[in-house]
Amino acid sequence: MASIRQRGKFWEARVRREGQTVSHSFSTKADARAWSTVIESEIERGIFLDRTEAEKNTLGDLLQRYLADVSSHKKGHEIERYRLESLQRDPIAKIKVAGLSGKLMAQWRDKRLKEVSGSTVNRDLNLISHVINVARKEWGVHVENPIAMIRRPPENRARNRRLASGEEERLLAELEQSTRSERGTFEEGGSRNLWVRPLVILALETAMRRGELLSLNWSDVFLADCFVRLHDTKNGDPRDVPLSKRAIDTA
């Protein structure tokens, strides 16, 4: 049975049926009555889903919870944290989850495409979609995933480029350690970090990712056998990476 009563400037509709109680506030009595009729029908037909959480939380709320509860436990979470925080600053983060629609997300997609590449937009859409799916399955936020309703922009063409003749020499020259003046300040040009240049050389020689290089310990380096052992790779499987003579000399 539905009850409708005025509370201040709003009308509260409360539905009690088959052991379930749901309430919602509206600006008019007519809206409250129409809502209660729909909810009673859905409960009676066994298709009712409590939309309270979807109407209470914004997309930004879900992004923040995902950042704290899910993303923080992932490998490479720092990169995802940056993307999540960027999305939280976007105006769409202020929209209630129940108000997200295919039309709204398509408009957001088209606006983003004027600012960034299709690949970047797809990565953002994938992340938003996963956040919403986690909220639906684990947090009781009952809402359709609007990302599944829209077209994806085409991906960028894959990059296939090596340093051209002379570029490596110029790059490494710029990474030579900067010298200090008599006053103790660094001179212009060069790198203030003496480890950057050898790190770049190792990256060029081994094609290891940044995270793989920075996670290496001396116990993982086998100079006599010309390889390093990576335990924590992107796909989770350990692998051995051969070292060239130049890489060994740099190490």
Q: Output the CA angle 192-193-195, nearest 5 degrees.
A: 150
Cβ atoms within 10 A of the Cβ of 205, count? 19
The answer to whether 121 touches 113, Cβ cutoff 8 Å, is yes
75 contacts 232 by C-beta, under 8 angstroms: yes
Q: Is the CA virtual torsion 227, 228, 234, 239 positive or negative?
A: positive
pLDDT of residue 185: 63
CB 142 within 8 A of CB 39: no
- 5: Cα separation from own chain's centroid: 43
Query: Per residue, what are the HEC states of 145-170?
Result: CHHHHCCCCCCCCCCCCCCCCCHHHH
Please tell me the pTM assigned to this model.
Answer: 0.64
Residue type, 193: N
**CB hemisphere CA count around 74 (13 angstroms):** 14
The CATH homologous superfamily to which domain 56-149 belongs is: Tyrosine recombinase, N-terminal domain (1.10.150.130)
For position 47, what pLDDT does the model report? 65
CA distance 247 to 241: 11
Q: Is the distance from CB of 143 to CB of 102 less than 8 angstroms? A: no
Distance, CA of 201 to chain centre: 30
The CA distance from 83 to 102, in Å, is: 21
Residues composing the chain = 251
What architecture does CATH give domain 167-179+189-250? Orthogonal Bundle (1.10)
Q: Digits of tens for pLDDT over the chain (251 positions)?
A: 678 888 888 888 888 766 667 777 888 889 888 878 887 787 777 766 677 788 889 999 999 999 999 988 877 778 889 999 999 999 999 999 988 999 999 999 999 999 999 999 999 999 999 999 999 999 988 888 999 999 999 987 767 777 888 898 888 888 887 776 666 666 666 787 888 899 999 999 998 888 888 888 899 999 999 999 988 776 677 889 999 999 998 87
